[in-house]
A = this chain, B = another copy of it.
Amino acid sequence: MLKLSKLTDYAAMMMAQIARAPEEAHTASELAQRLHLPHPTVGKTLKMLAKEGLLISRRGSHGGYVLARPAVEIAASDIIAAIEGPIGMTECSHVDGECELIGTCGVADNWQRVSQAIRTLLDGVTLAHLAQEAPIKLPVLMPIQSVTLPSVAEGRR
């Protein structure tokens, strides 16, 4: 369903939680408790976010995680990419040309443009937006270029 994985969802929750109190270090157990999520899973997710450079960790007692940069500089796409890998709607929209159907599929190019548009949208949403309560105002995306279908249909025979 074009869905995020649960882990990505959790990641967003955690990042938002951290963003709301950016001065303090947050431990895995604290976040697990607050968000009602299983502790080991929270730990695992935090590790991923840290490894991808979105969080900075400190070990030892009084350790925990803090944002690696200000919340306005962390995009929703960063969080998604950190957990799920590169964002792309189709195989061929990100892999380095490994799709053997390229020649016959016939939709690759425009699919990739759609994919890019979604990526751009997600780049524009920051962690600060997600963490705040005020509604984000997203631009109404509009229609797009008109098409001349009949000629396309004919041109193909």
Contacts and interface: CB of A to CB of B under 8 A. Distances in A.
Contact of A2 (B70, B72, B80): B80
Taken together, the copies of this chain in the complex come to 2
A114 B122 contact: yes
A86 interface: yes
A144 to B, nearest CB: 5
A29 interface: no
Given A20-B156, A91-B9, A145 B149 contact: no
Interface residues of A, number: 78
Interface of A: 1-4, 6, 9, 12-13, 16-17, 19-23, 34-37, 70-72, 76, 80, 84-91, 94, 100-101, 104-107, 109-111, 113-114, 116-118, 120-122, 124-126, 128-145, 147-149, 152-153, 156-157
